[in-house]
Amino acid sequence: MTGNNLADYLTLGLIMFSIGAVGVIVRRNPIVIFMCIELMLNAVNLTFLAFARFTPTTAALADRAESFMSGQMMVVFVMAVAAAEVAVGLGIIMAIYRLRNEIDIDEMNLLKG
Amino acid sequence: MTDWLIQQSPAVQATIRVLVFVLPVLIIVPGLIWWERRLLSWMQDRIGPNRVGPFGLLQPIADGVKLFFKEDITPAAVDRLIYFVAPAVALFPAFAIGATLPWGPHYGPLMHWTPIADVNIGILYILAISSLGVYGVVLSGYASNNKYSLLGGLRASAQLISYELAMSVSLAGIVMATGSLKLTDMVAEQMKPLWGWDAAAVFQNWFIFTPFGFIAAVIFLICMVAETNRAPFDLPEAENEIIAGYHTEYSSMKFAVFFMGEYATMFIFGGVFATVFLGGWNMLPVNWDVLAAQVPAVAPLARVMDGANYWLAPLWFLGKCAGGITFYIWLRATLPRLRYDQLMSLGWKSLLPMAVANFIVVAIWIMCTKLYGPAGGWIAMFVALAIVYVLYLNVVSATSKSGWYAQGRIRMTEGAEKRRPIALVDPTKEVRP
Amino acid sequence: MTVFMVLSTIAILAALGVVLFSSPVRSALCLVFNFFTLAFIYFGLKTELLGITQIVVYTGAIMVLFLFVIMLLNLGGPQTWKERFEFRTVLGFGFGFALAAVIASQVFANFQYFDKPQAPDSFGSPQALGRVLFTHYVWPFEIASILLLIGIVGSIMLAKRKL
């Protein structure tokens, strides 16, 4: 795995993020939209880790562990938030399905004035 | 031997280790099937398969040949891509899960042969790969386009998520006590003197002999059975409710793959249990070299045993795995299947709180050991366990109205007495011949 | 390099599959593959703890939940509605390409020359991560735990028919 530079990882992250963004706009099934959001979150996670591995730290911070751990910490918290988000989001989808017996995203217009 | 192994390139080393690991599993799986059928029939006062080969030992091979030559039926309305992928997905964790298990000693001449990858996330790797096991079940259940299969898949996904949690938390206590996620470190920790007392250095500190380790072992054992979808937790394939659950629509070799994956997973989980709680590859919980030094009378015997313990380590390990399988079969012959709500309440309402309480007790034990030495640590642990038990009794008395919790055991016949007997003949009407 | 290329190709194909398959179950399966390959890319970045956490959390828990809901609501079958072709589709793809182009211009302009890993190889080990997580980041950690608790309570409130 030697010989990669930061741009390789960032390119993979940006492609995945763009695909996720397209999916959120294009698809109508809320569960698939949800999965695309997860895809975008993971693209961002990859970017965080790549930056954490490749970017140099300043000389003042070089002896402190947290200077190069912050990227990984962000990923930990993104994972925690994603887990909570999925539990609540899928709960909402199930509640909507129980209420309306369908989950087409275009039919969810109850809040329209 | 070891020097030769280290001189090879990493890829060759890994390949050799994989061959050393995978081939025994592949060879043992038919033996396990024979052992299950034979032992089960003995327990049920039957004879079992005894026609093919000596003691019926070749029966699994005959079954395999039969399955191989059967017609491979693909139902018409299945989701073909997922239908074909699912058996492979089901087999993958069974063989990948053992990659971090140490089959043999981690020091001395045998050290570089096992495990395949001695990574410092060993136990997490096992949890991660075992959590992938659900996909084979869920995908095959979905792809078969069959109501029973779908029900089996749904049951499996809910069951595995529920029990995975308690399993991870019960292992977390052991990880804390070891201070490492590496499995070789766990085995090394279990070779230390019992309960941290130098006076008891003859005996090894297997985690199952410590109070917290025993509780964790019981929780892990139950969760392990649930994770592998075996009786009494075999709801995903309950024969008399949903035919065969997720593999109803699978025939021929695809069914054989599911079957093989199930047995291999059982075997490997037995190995995980042995590594984490039963001292890994050690034969008996005795430090033979210490025994030789302390009791000169048995020194020659102890030295022989020490050598046997070291050089035959994979054999002892396989023996412990086989013991795990036997336990599985024993459970299957003994316990009736749980009902779905009983399964869920067992996982969420008793195993998970127990595992979390055990986790906190381990934390208290470590803290008090650091502050007051081993004796203080053990006293603190027993006090903490007593407090937890009192709290548990309070919970039980507070929720005494709600079902099996009150009885302190699962009542398999719950609800049966409430049902009215079905009267085939109307009792009010007089029947005359 | 080749390992990374293979892994990233699989990841991109799987990501495309998530968007392009019409059956939600196939989308979910593709997403599982994507997360799984991502975990190996994380291993390549020497962040092995987060790689294995990726497998445990995403493929082991989150995606199983997704599959569970898809199967529970029975959305996966052939009776699912067809995705209509409409203006929004064109708009979405246009937006995606524009987004990719904007980010790519910045990536290739600025980050081509970071080709030497700066962090030590052990920076992704459980010990290093745990030490920082429970000292410097202990408050965010506690807040995340409260967030998860709220998530549990909220999802039970939403999903239970009557409390």
Q: Quote the pLDDT of residue B425.
A: 57
Q: Picking from A36-45, A63-72, B83-92, B335-344, which range would have the lowest pLDDT averaged per residue? A: A63-72
A78 has pLDDT over 50: yes
Q: Domain of residue C163: give its range.
A: 125-163
Measured between CA atoms, the residue of chain C closest to residue A79 is C57
Q: Picking from B390-394, B411-415, C97-101, which range would have the lowest pLDDT averaged per residue? A: B411-415
With an 8 Å Cβ cutoff, the interface of chain C facing chain B consists of 23, 25-26, 29, 32, 48-49, 52-53, 55-56, 59-61, 64-65, 67-68, 71-72, 76-77, 125-127
* C42, C71, C123: best to mutate for the B interface, most B CBs within 10 A: C71
Q: Quote the pLDDT of residue B417.
A: 52
Question: How far apart are the C-alpha atoms of B24 and A43, rounded to whole Å?
Answer: 40
Supply C155's token pair. Answer: 């999802």
Supply C81's token pair. Answer: 């509605």
C130 and C107 in one domain?
Answer: no
A60 has pLDDT over 70: no
C149 and C99 in one domain?
Answer: no
Q: Quote the pLDDT of residue C78.
A: 47
At position B185, the amino acid (one-letter code) is D
C131 and C102 in one domain?
Answer: no
Question: How far apart are the C-alpha atoms of B56 and B50, rounded to whole Å?
Answer: 4
Of A22, A17, A20, give the one whose Cα is nearest residue A35: A20
List C residues 32-61 in contact with A (Cβ-Cβ < 8 A).
34-35, 38, 41-42, 44-47, 50, 53-54, 57-58, 61
The residue among B203 and A49 whose pLDDT is bigger is: A49
C148 and C112 in one domain?
Answer: no
CA angle B293, B299, B304 (to 5 degrees): 115
C129 and C109 in one domain?
Answer: no
C82 and C160 in one domain?
Answer: no
B203 has pLDDT over 70: yes
Q: What is the pLDDT of residues B405-430, one digit of tens each?
A: 444 555 544 454 555 555 555 556 66
Q: Could you tell me if B346 and B353 are in contact, meaning their C-beta atoms sit under 8 angstroms apart? A: no
Question: How far apart are the C-alpha atoms of B336 and B333, rounded to whole Å?
Answer: 8
Question: How far apart are the C-alpha atoms of C12 and B2, rounded to whole Å?
Answer: 41
Q: Quote the pLDDT of residue B401.
A: 55
List A residues 22-51 in contact with C (Cβ-Cβ < 8 A).
22-23, 25-29, 31-32, 34-36, 38-39, 42, 45-46, 49-50
Q: Rounded to the nearest 10 degrees, what angle do helices B252-277 and B59-69 cross at?
A: 140
Instruction: Return the beta strands (E) in B266-425 as ranges.
Output: none
Q: Model confidence at B399, in pLDDT bands (50, 70, 90)?
A: low
Peptide bond into B115 cis (omega under 30): yes
C141 and C82 in one domain?
Answer: no
- Only one residue has tokens 């013991």, namely B323
Q: Using the beta-carbon criterion (under 8 Å), do C159 and A26 form an inter-chain contact?
A: no
List C residues 17-36 in contact with A (Cβ-Cβ < 8 A).
18-19, 24, 27-28, 31, 34-35
Query: In this predicted complex, what is the ipTM?
Result: 0.85
CATH of domain A6-107: 1.10.287.3510
Task: Tell me how far CA of residue C96 lies from CA of A16, A28, C109, in angstroms.
Answer: 10, 17, 20
Q: What is the pLDDT of residues A11-50, one digit of tens each?
A: 889 889 999 988 888 887 888 888 999 999 999 999 998 8
Q: Residues A78-107: what's their mean pLDDT?
A: 81
C9 and C61 in one domain?
Answer: yes
Domain positions in chain A are 6-107
Of B192, B128, A73, B274, give the one whose Cα is nearest residue C128: A73
Q: What is the pLDDT of residues B302-313, one digit of tens each?
A: 788 788 788 888
Question: How far apart are the C-alpha atoms of C54 and C45, rounded to whole Å?
Answer: 13
- The CATH number for C16's domain is 1.20.120.1200
Chain C residues in contact with B120 by the CB 8 A cut-off are 48, 125-127
C113 and C48 in one domain?
Answer: yes
Task: Tell me how far CA of residue C20 lies from CA of A36, A110, B45, C10, C39, in angstroms.
Answer: 11, 29, 57, 15, 23
Q: Model confidence at A110, in pLDDT bands (50, 70, 90)?
A: low
Q: Quote the pLDDT of residue B433.
A: 58
- Only one residue has tokens 């309306």, namely A100
- Structural domain total, chain C: 2
Nearest by CB to residue B161, choosing from C23, C48, C64, is C64
What percent of chain A has a predicted confidence (pLDDT) above 70?
A: 76
C77 has pLDDT over 60: no
Of B415, B299, B405, give the one whose Cα is nearest residue B353: B405
C153 and C79 in one domain?
Answer: no
